[in-house]
Amino acid sequence: MATARHTGALTAAKFCHILDTVVGPYTSGVFPNGDFLSQQDLTPVHTARSVQARLQQTGIEQLAWVPKGADINVIENAWGRMKVALNRTPMPSATEDELRVAVLAEWQRLASDTSLVTALNESRPSRISAVVEVNGDMTH
């Protein structure tokens, strides 16, 4: 999978570029029937009109996001695992490029762990039920 590198704050324009150059090509290859669902939180970049228009133009279907829905975002578990793995090998004097290589290698390892990916995806219904049970509030 291709990656996108940007400097500074992520803007709607940068995110649209990522959708065009990374997400779109990746999902069309992995999900040729178009059965891909996107899940995004409510950060301003994700809710920007230009981003929403781009998602609609590309046909990327989105799951609705509840205002306090951090507990249903499985990517948080992946980021947690990423941080633990990267902290196992401290890199205090690493350059930006060296850190990028380490992050990409760990991301590839996580993405290829089919049991992890399956477990995270299969946890969605229980996560959603838990959030519904507490009326959209945090579950932990």
Which pairs with CB-CB distance under 8 Å and at least 24 residues apart come from 46-53? 46/15, 48/12, 48/15, 50/12, 50/13, 50/16, 51/12, 51/15, 51/16, 51/19
In sequence order, the 6+-apart residues with CB closer than 8 A to the CB of 117 are 111
User: Span 83-91, mean pLDDT?
Assistant: 89
User: Span 6-34, mean pLDDT?
Assistant: 88
In sequence order, the 6+-apart residues with CB closer than 8 A to the CB of 23 are 38, 60
As a whole number, the mean pLDDT across the chain is 85
Domains of the chain, residue spans = 7-65, 66-140
Say yes or no to pLDDT of 127 above 70. Answer: yes
pLDDT value at position 84?
Answer: 93
